[in-house]
Amino acid sequence: MYNQEQNIAPIEWFVIAKDANKALLVSKHIIDAQPYSGTVSLPTWLEETFRKSAFNDKESLGVTEVLLLSREQIDTYLKGQEFAKCEPTTFARSRGYSTNYASNYMWWTSESSSGGKHFVASQSGYLGRDVADDTKTNGVRPAIWVSFEYVRRKAWTFKK
């Protein structure tokens, strides 16, 4: 559950990869606007603040990791796929997400340059564009690894 369209609602997820014990999911929407660094780094925000807000205690047990996708993951799982397309939620826009990108919305990746800036992705794939870490104009499209053991117990349903 996370603030989506000015109300708390379940996050919609796409399954983008599976291994023997877990599945990698990415949110359908850009759900927030956060700077990459600042008083709290974005990876820390994802693991602490976002995890506590988005998942109840039982759900959180099944989430083995909350992350931003890497270049390799984006190129492997999203490039050319329909679910690579996403839009920001009303909440993300209200938090400072820029709407200047027409329909090619951008979100943070886990990749950084040697200059300390971070790269973004869009529906066309990994952009490799240096972006100042303190900007909130790029969105957060979180990914999670979820344990299959937990999924079987909770009977989560996923879009593919």
Q: Which tens digit of pLDDT belongs to each residue from 86-113?
A: 888 888 888 888 766 566 788 888 888 7
Tell me which residue has tokens 């996923």.
158
Residues 26-35 have a mean pLDDT of 90
* Closest to 42 (Cα-Cα) out of 63, 68, 3, 65: 68
pLDDT (0 to 100) of residue 99: 65
pLDDT (0 to 100) of residue 59: 83
| Of residues 9 and 63, more confidently modeled | 63
Report field, pTM of the whole predicted structure over 0.95: no
What are the tens digits of pLDDT across the range 80-89? Answer: 788 788 888 8
The share of the chain scoring above pLDDT 90, in percent, equals 23
Phi, psi of 144 (to 5 degrees): -140, 145
16 — pLDDT class (breaks 50, 70, 90): very high
Other beta carbons within 10 Å of 132 = 14
**Within a 13 Å sphere around the CA of 138, how many CA atoms are in the beta-carbon half?**
25
pLDDT (0 to 100) of residue 84: 82
Residues 1-14 have a mean pLDDT of 72
Other beta carbons within 10 Å of 100 = 6
